[in-house]
A = this chain, B = another copy of it.
């Protein structure tokens, strides 16, 4: 079930649409207009609109998994690992703003279990990765252990989400990576023993 060229076109166009004007602009009509075919032709390549969204999310999950493989192969201390991870995520969102729009709109998916499960799982997974790094770092005495890793992770993930969200609301008007670097500086200090 590999994706055909046309399917890739559709996914790309979808991502562009979402990045430009938000997920609400992703309609079959807009999509077909953007590609230059008629609405019904979309259905030659995807069973439903939801399938398109799922494909986008899968794409994200894949790149997420790759990110994490690189991360665990990394020979470095946990501080460095955490830093790399956050940096990678900021870089990713920076060049894929549409994904952020999809990932962070849980509310829109409330009526569709398939989608909301998908989003929720990605969210849980991300958090778990951070918690693991933190706990490992705590155990070997690299991070402070007077606060639970779970709450720390909440603050880190929460801050990341908030920064990205504001970046989108502000129409990408500031440098997300730069803001990410600033955030990291603070996190780094806070988690130190």
Q: Which of B105, B108, B162 contacts A161 (CB 8 A)?
A: B162
What are 12 inter-chain pairs, A to B, with CB distance below 8 A? A21-B110, A24-B111, A105-B108, A106-B165, A107-B108, A108-B108, A147-B185, A148-B186, A151-B182, A154-B162, A161-B161, A161-B162
Give the number of residues in A that approach B within 8 Å (Cβ atoms). Answer: 41
Q: Does A175 contact B (CB under 8 A)?
A: no
A60 located at the interface, meaning its Cβ lies under 8 Å from any Cβ of chain B in the complex: no
Q: How far is the CA of A120 from the CA of B111 in the complex (A)?
A: 25
Q: Bound complex: CA of A163 vs CA of B127, how far in Å?
A: 12
Residue pair B159, A163 in contact (C-beta under 8 Å)? no
How far is the CB of A113 from the nearest CB of chain B, in Å? 12
Q: Are A151 and B185 in contact (CB under 8 A)?
A: yes
Chain B residue numbers with a CB within 8 Å of A107 are 22-24, 101, 104-105, 107-108
Instruction: Write the A78-95 contact mask toward B (1 if CB under 8 angstroms, else 0).
Output: 000000000000000000
Q: Shortest beta-carbon distance, A110 to chain B, in Å? A: 4
Which residues of chain A (172-190) have a CB below 8 Å from chain B? 182-183, 185-187, 189-190
- Does A157 interact with chain B (Cβ within 8 Å)? yes
The reply to whether the CB of A50 lies closer than 8 angstroms to some CB of chain B is: no
Known contacts A159-B159, A161-B158; decide if A152 and B110 are in contact (CB<8 Å): no
Residues of B contacting A186 in the complex (Cβ-Cβ under 8 angstroms)? 147-148, 151-152, 155
A160 within 8 A of B: yes
Chain B residues near A161 (CB, 8 Å)?
A: 158, 161-162
Q: Are A120 and B163 in contact (CB under 8 A)?
A: no
